[in-house]
Chain A
Amino acid sequence: MTNSWVDIKNADLILVMGGNPAEAHPCGFKWVLEAKAKKKARLIVVDPRFTRTAAVADFYAPIRPGTDIAFLGGVINYLLSNDKIQHDYVRNYTSAALLVREDTGFDDGLFTGYDEAKRSYDKSTWNYQVDKDGIAKVDPTLQDPNSVFQRLKTHYARYTPELVERTTGTPKASFLKVCEAIATTAVPDRTMTSLYALGWTQHSVGSQNIRSIAILQLLLGNMGMAGGGVNALRGHSNIQGLTDLGLLSHSLPGYLTLPTDGDPDLKTYLEKRTPKLLRPGQFNYWANYPKFFVSLMKAWYGAAATKENDFAFEWLPKIDGAYDVLRVMELMSQGKVNGYVCQGFNPLSSFPNKEKVLGGLRKLKFLVTIDPLSTETSEFWRNHGEFNDVDPSQIQTEVFRFPSSLFAEEDGSLVSSARWLQWHWKAAEPPAEAKGDLEIVAELYLALKKLYATEGGAFPDPVLKLAWPYRITKAPAPEEVAREFNGQALADVPDPKNPGAFLVKQGEQVAGFGVLQADGSTACGCWIFAGSWTQAGNQMARRDASDPSGLGVTPGWAWSWPANRRVLYNRASCNADGVPYIPTRKLIWWNGTKWVGNDVPDFKADSPPADGMNPFIMNGEGVARLWAPAMADGPFPEHYEPFDTPLARNPFGKVLNDPAARVFKDDWKAFGKPDEFPFVATTYRLTEHFHFWTKHARIPAILQPEAFVELPEGLARKKGIRNDDMVVVKSKRGQIKLKALVTKRMPTLTVEGKEVEVVGLPIHWGFLGQTRKGYITNTLTPPVGDANIQTPEYKAFLVNVEKA
C-alpha cells in the first residue's frame, strides 16, 4: 500500500476493483465501513462477481474477467475528454510535460520495437527526448504532440464508452456512473482510494492493470494524499515482508536486484542500477543504491567482504533469466531440477495446471517441505482416490517433511500490507518435533557448510565465508536477525556537515538508511528496514495507538518502512508552495525553514519549495511516470485478451494476447478455445478459509465444508443444472468435480454481441484436512504469467460445465 489500512477512513470515494476485501481482508475492511459511516464516503465495487464487498457497496458494476485495462483506460479517456483532471498536480508532479522520442509509437496493438520471434520489445525508442547532459526535455504547456500528456490522450482516445461496453460487458450506463463518481475526486479537496489485490495482479497483463490505476490516480491528484493512493492488499500474512526481503528469484533485500551475466564486476553492476538524473534539481534517491548494496554485502559476509574483493560481489549468483514459479515448474517438467525445498508453500495446490506440477514433482530426486501442516505437495505421491489418482510405486521422489512452528509459536515481525513491521510474541510452544524456520534453515546451512569444509567443492567461498554471528549457531534468534536487517556501524561514520562529529559510532545500530555508506563502514541486511531496531530498541514492538492528527497516522504504533513513514509520496499532498491541498487533512507542510508534519516527510527535509524539487524522489525525473519505459509490454497499458479468451479477436487491435508474455513452447497447446470451453472462469478465496491452511481446522471446516462452483442462472438453465447438483468443470488443463451453487451473483454479460457466462471457482479444498475432500481447483488454471513479473493468470480462463 502507498497509504495504510487506517488511512482508508480518510477517503471520500473507495474504489474496490481487482480485490474483494470484505472477504479476503475482513479486518482491514473495517476502515472502509468507517469511512462510509463517519465521512459519508461512497463505496464502488467493480468485479466479475457480486461479492460480499459488493453487498455493502453503494454501487456495483460487473466486468468480464481480464478486461480491467479496457475499463480503466475508458475511465482515463473519460477524465481527459471531460476535463476532469487536477491540472495543477498533473502539470507539476507527473511526467505529463516530458517529451518522448518522436520515433516512438503505437500501431494496432503494438508499440515500436517489437520482435515477434523473441516475443519481446527493444525498448530504446520508448525513452524521453534528452539534451546533451541526459536531461529530459519538457513542454510545460503540455501541447507538444510528443509530450507524455498528448500521447496519453491519443492512446486512450480509442477507449470509448461503447468499446469499453463491448469488451468488458459492463453496461455503458454502469460504466459511466462509475466514471462520474471517480471524476468527483479530480478536485484538490476530494480523494479516492483504490483497493486491489490478486484480482488485478493474477493476469497476463497484471502489472499493467496496476499501471492503469496509477495513471488514473495521478490524473486525479490522489497520490500522496491522506485518503488516496494505490493500495495493494497483500494476500498472505507477511507476503509484504517476503517481497521486502527479496525472496523473489531476481530480488535482493530492499528491492535491490540480483546481478546478471551482464554484470561482470561490482562497478558495472552498480552503474547499471544507479539511475541518472533526468530533470535538474531532483533528489534521485536511488542514486544511493551503492550504499544500500555494499551495506547488504557487509551484513552477509562481514569482514570477508572487502573493498579489494568488490565486497564479495562475485559470491552472488548471476541470474541468467527469471526463476519464477512457472519457469521452475517448466524446468522440473523437463527433468532439469533435482531437488526442491518448499518452505511454507504448497505448489501442488497453489500453482496453475496441477497436472504439470505433479509431472514435475515426480521427476525430482528429492523434495523437502518445511511447513506446520501436512500439505498436498508433501503427499503428491500418495493416492487419494479420484482427488489425486497417482500410483506411488511409479514415483521415486524422496520426500522429507520438516514440521515447522506456526506464527503464534514464535517471536518475530510480520510486515502488513501497510508496510508496518509489527513485532509479535510467541503464544505457545510448537508441538512435538516442530521447530522454528530459522532453526531448520540454520541446521541445513551448518550441515552444508560442514560438507564444504570437509570435502571441498567447486565454489565453497559463498557458503564458507557467510557471516554467522548468532549466539546459538544452530538457532539464530529472531531478535538477532531483526537487528541485522536494521543494520549497524562497523566503524565510526563521520558527519560530513559537522567535522569532528559522527553520524553513528562503531557498534551502534543505525537510526535510518540515511547514514549507510558505500565504503564498507556500515552493514544493513535490508536498507528499507533501517530504523526498525535502533539504539532506542525494537521499534516494531511499539504499541502506542495515539493519533494526534486524527488521520490514522499513529506514529508510535509499530514501525512503518521507510523511515516510519505512513503515506508514501506525501510531499504531493501539498501544492508547489508547500501548502497542503486539504487543510483538514494535513500530512506534512513547509514551515518556512523545513518540511514538518503529522507524518514523516517523504522528501528532502530542508529543500524549500522554491527550489523546485519534485515529490517523487525515487525517480530520476522527480515526477511520477504516466509513461513507463521500463515495462516489458509497453509504456502505456493496453488491453489484451487473456490467453484463454472467449473472443476470436481483440476489440482494441490486431494483437490478441499480451505480446510480451512468456509462454513455454509446450504450453501453447494448453490454452482453451471457446468452442470447446465456452464459459469464462475466475478463481478466488472465501472469507471462511485462508488458502489451503484453514481446511485443517475444525471451525473453518464447519463454516465452509465442501468445494463448490458458482454458476449464473442462465448457464444453469441451459445445462439443466440445479442448485446443489454435482457438476464437472473442465478446462484445457483438466477437470474437477464439485457441487454447484446457482446464483444471481454470477453475471451473464454481453461481449461483442454474444452472451458470456462467468463461472466462479473458490480454491480452498484438497485431499487433506478436516473439510470434505475435494479436487484441487488449480487443476484448471492456465500456465501463463504476467508479462513483467510472471504472476500466473489465475483470474481469467475458459471452462465448460456439465452436470455430473
Chain B
Amino acid sequence: MALETQDIRLRSATTMESAPSARSFRPEVAKLIDLSRCIGCKACQAACMEWNDLREEVGTFQGSYANPLHLSDQSWTVMKFNETVIDGSLNWFIFKDGCMHCADPGCLKACPSPGAVVQYANGIVDFQQDNCIGCGYCITGCPFDIPRMRKQDGRVYKCTLCSDRVSVGLEPACIKSCPTQALTFGSKAEMTELANHRLVDLHERGMAKAAVYDPSGVGGTHVFYVLPHGDRPETYGLPRDPSVGAVVTFWRSGVARALGVATMFGVLVAGILHYMRYGPLEVPDETEGKTGKEAQS
C-alpha cells in the first residue's frame, strides 16, 4: 500500500512524535473472532492463502487436525486444536492464530529499521518488507509470537489484516470466507458492542466464564476474541497478560534514546579526536582494485 504519511500513525525507528492528522474521521477497524461460533473449518486459512498468494509445501500429518501446526511465512493464520477436560466434560478448543494488530505494537517498537513496521490510522499494523533488514527484533518484540522470518529472502512476514482490501472498502479475506460469522469485521467500537452482546448469550447458556479478550497490556488489539472459557486464555494459546517486553520498552524509552544519542555523540567525538590525532584512514590500493573488478563483472 502506498506510503501516504497521513494514513500512517506510527512508523518504526522514526522520530515521528505525531503524524499529520487532519483527516481525523477515520474509524479504527477490528476483527472480532467469536470462538463460540468457530467450527475450525479452516476456510479462513484457505482464503488467506488464496488472497495473499501463499502456498506451503504439502506437509505430513503431525498428530493434530492442525496443518501446518504453526504460523509461517506462508501461513499467516492457522487453526489450532486443543482437547481439554473441564469439570469432567470434554472441550475441544478451536483457535484461530494470527496477528493481533496491537494498539501498542511490540513489533513496531522493537524494529530498528525506519518504516519497516507501520501502524495505519485505522489501527492495522503492517510490515513493509522493502524496508525490512531481517534483524528479527520484531519477532522478539511480539508478545504473541506472530512474525515469521522467510529463509529465502531474510524478511519478516505476518497477517496484514488484508490492508490492501480494507483500504478499498473490502473486508479481509478471512472474514469473507467465514461461513458461521465467527469472524466479523467493522469498527472497533461496533465490534466491542457485538462482543459484549455475545457474552450475554453465552452467560445465559451457562458459560459463566465467557469473556472478551482485548488485552490492555498492549493497549488493546484490533483483532480480538470472544472466549467461551475466558478464564483460560492459555488453553487457547493466548498469553494471560501480554505486554510489550522489557527490553523493547527500554529500547523505545527516553533513557535508551538518550543513551543512544550519547553513544552516537561519543563516537563522533572519538572520531574527530582520532582524526586529529592520526589523520585520515588510508585504504590499500589492491583492495580498491579488486572491488572495482568485482563491480564490473
Contacts and interface: CB of A to CB of B under 8 A. Distances in A.
B92 A26 contact: no
Given A54-B92, A745-B92, A37 B204 contact: no
A23 interface: yes
Contacts of A744: 83, 85, 90
Contact of A698 (B58, B64, B180): B58
A56 B68 contact: no
Nearest to A38: B201
A687 B58 contact: no
A30 B94 contact: no
Nearest to B68: A702
By secondary structure, the B interface counts as loop
3 nearest A-B pairs in the assembled complex, by CB-CB distance:
A724-B63, A706-B61, A22-B39
Contacts of B43: 26
A55 B94 contact: yes
A702 B55 contact: yes
A52 interface: yes
Contacts of B198: 37
Interface stretch (B44-52, B104-112, B235-243): B44-52
B61 A708 contact: yes
Contacts of A708: 61
Nearest to A774: B61
Contacts of A40: 201, 204-205
B202 to A, nearest CB: 10
B152 interface: no
A33 B182 CA distance: 9
Nearest to A743: B83
B63 A687 contact: no
A23 B201 contact: no
Nearest to A769: B58
B209 interface: no
How many chain A residues sit at the interface, stated as a range, is 35 or more
B129 to A, nearest CB: 22
A50 B36 contact: no
A701 B61 CA distance: 11
Given A22-B41, A56-B39, A687-B39, 4 more contacts: A33-B180, A703-B67, A723-B63, A742-B63
A706 B62 CA distance: 9
Contacts of A27: 179
B40 interface: yes
A741 B42 CA distance: 19
Contacts of B58: 698, 701-702, 705, 770-772
Nearest to A688: B42
Contacts of A22: 39-41
Interface of B: 36-43, 45-46, 49-50, 55-65, 67-68, 83, 85, 89-92, 94, 179-182, 198, 201, 204-205
A211 B20 CA distance: 70
Contacts, number: 111
A699 B83 contact: no
A699 B94 contact: no
A491 B56 CA distance: 63
A803 interface: no
Contact of A739 (B37, B56, B61): B61
Interface string A230-256: 000000000000000000000000000
Contacts of A58: 205
Interface string A755-785: 0000000000000001110000000000000
Interface in A342-359: none
Contact of A52 (B39, B57, B85): B39
A53 B37 CA distance: 10
24 contacts: A22-B40, A26-B43, A29-B179, A33-B37, A33-B180, A36-B201, A40-B204, A52-B39, A52-B41, A55-B94, A56-B36, A686-B65, A687-B42, A698-B58, A699-B46, A702-B49, A702-B57, A705-B59, A706-B59, A739-B61, A744-B83, A745-B83, A771-B58, A772-B60
Nearest to B49: A699
B51 to A, nearest CB: 12
A708 to B, nearest CB: 5
Contacts of B180: 26, 29-30, 33
Contacts of B37: 33, 37, 56
Interface string A678-719: 000000001110000000001111111111100000000000
A727 to B, nearest CB: 12
Nearest to B35: A56
Interface centre among B40, B55, B60, B180 (most CB of A within 10 A): B180
A53 B198 CA distance: 19
Interface centre among B59, B64, B94 (most CB of A within 10 A): B59
B39 A26 contact: yes
Interface string A19-49: 0001100110110010011001000000000
A50 B82 CA distance: 13
Contact of B40 (A52, A741, A745, A771): A52
A703 B40 contact: no
Interface centre among A688, A741, A771 (most CB of B within 10 A): A688
B205 A706 contact: no
A525 B50 CA distance: 41
Contacts of B39: 22-23, 26, 29, 52-53, 55-56, 687
A739 to B, nearest CB: 4
Given A33-B180, A702-B59, A741 B64 contact: yes
Interface centre among B39, B40, B41, B94 (most CB of A within 10 A): B39
A687 B43 CA distance: 9
A26 B43 CA distance: 9
A702 B62 CA distance: 12
B184 to A, nearest CB: 11
Contacts of B46: 699-700, 703
B62 A50 contact: no
Nearest to A739: B61
B40 A30 contact: no
Contacts of A724: 61-63
Contacts of A742: 63
A26 B204 contact: no
A230 B90 CA distance: 28
A192 B59 CA distance: 42
Nearest to B75: A702
Contacts of A26: 39, 41, 43, 179-180
A19 to B, nearest CB: 14
Contacts of B85: 744
Given A706-B60, A745-B83, A687 B40 contact: yes
A30 B83 CA distance: 23
A699 B50 contact: yes
Interface in A722-745: 723-724, 739, 741-745
A23 B92 CA distance: 14
Contacts of B36: 56
